[in-house]
Amino acid sequence: MEIRPLHRDDLAAAVALNNASIPAVSEADIAKMQALVAESRLSLVAEERGEVLGFCINFGPGAQYGSVNYRWFCERYDDFVYLDRIAVAETARNRGIGTALYAAVEQHIAGAPWLLCEVNLRPRNDGSLRFHHRIGFVEVGQQETDYGILVSMLAKDLRDQS
């Protein structure tokens, strides 16, 4: 498996993976996905034998991104990377792809003090909550979104990692 930057040719696969993961992520079409990637600090894919099996999109501070969850973090953190969305093909889950994507993000953002994300509490995403806690995330708050989803706001402190 290779982790590499997300390219224009990957957009259709990323949209398909994204939309197969609703409600863990919000719906996207090609135009929205292209806009997210263009504004992102870092967008990656996990690819195996030419097939995109997963992807993630990350934003730094100051992005022109209207997500209520991103804004929540912007109000509380000055320097961070926000992992907005990650999706892994259902047929490729439990193979370490999510862990590999997160590790690649951490490698690419060396020097950023915080990696931030949110996970749904309603509807509850227990698998994602377990995963994030296992790799070092802690809850720093909760937010009821304007679209009716309750989320756990998660942070991973990267300052003392060697």
pLDDT in tens, 109-144: 989 999 999 999 999 999 999 999 999 999 999 999
Domains, the chain, in order of start with CATH, read: 2-157 (3.40.630.30)
User: Could you write out the DSSP letters of every residue in 68-129?
Assistant: HHHHHHHTT-SS-EEEEEEEE-GGGTTSSHHHHHHHHHHHHTTT-SEEEEEEEEETB-HHHH
* Predicted confidence (pLDDT) at residue 49 exceeds the cutoff of 80: yes
Q: What is the pLDDT of residue 93?
A: 86
Q: What is the pLDDT of residue 110?
A: 86
pTM beyond cutoff 0.75? yes
